[in-house]
Amino acid sequence: MIAIGALGNDQVRIIRGSGVNLSDYSVLLEPEGPPVVAMAAQLLRDKGVYKFVEAARLLKPRGVEVMMGLIGASAPGNPTSIAQAELDGWAAEGVVDLVGYRSDIARQYVAANIVCLPSYREGLPKGLVEAASCRSPST
């Protein structure tokens, strides 16, 4: 719009964080073996962490062979943060794999067959856009 004179430089603002740098995300084929379901988020109730764990608990007794990976860290200052004691309980129960905070999120997405974010408050979550950037449209 600036190039055609419809707007001046002082009328335009860039809102960062709404896109993905595709050079940071490799497009690879879906991994083989038992399905991996990954959820990457701050470990907050609002992100749907309890729904993710509940889904894992439903699948386990049904004999569904799947690895449910919870990627992220809690946020101790946030009132909706999942307490460490609860995370430890889930780990002991063996229904989810607590991956923890990872800086190699693209690698985590590539290693997953399904990326899940059962959030209650997301518009277009950047994490799901990043995950989609790791797959070609044909896979």
Return d(Cα 44, Cα 75) in angstroms, integer: 7
Asked, for residue 27, whether it belongs to a domain, the answer is yes
Provide the number of structural domains found in the chain: 1
What CATH number is associated with residue 126? 3.40.50.2000
Location of structure tokens 């800086």: 103
Task: Evaluate the CA torsion angle 99, 47, 51, 66 in order and state its sign.
Answer: negative
Asked, for residue 24, whether it belongs to a domain, the answer is yes
3-state secondary structure of 73: coil
The three-point CA angle 10-124-86 to 5° equals 125
Which pTM was predicted?
A: 0.77
Per-residue pLDDT tens digits for 81-112:
999 999 999 999 999 999 999 999 888 988 89
Per-residue pLDDT tens digits for 67-81:
999 999 999 899 999
Asked, for residue 7, whether it belongs to a domain, the answer is no
Asked, for residue 128, whether it belongs to a domain, the answer is yes
Asked, for residue 8, whether it belongs to a domain, the answer is no
Asked, for residue 112, whether it belongs to a domain, the answer is yes
Quick one: what percent of the chain has pLDDT higher than 90?
A: 46
Asked, for residue 138, whether it belongs to a domain, the answer is no
Asked, for residue 3, whether it belongs to a domain, the answer is no
Domain extent, residue 110, equals 19-132
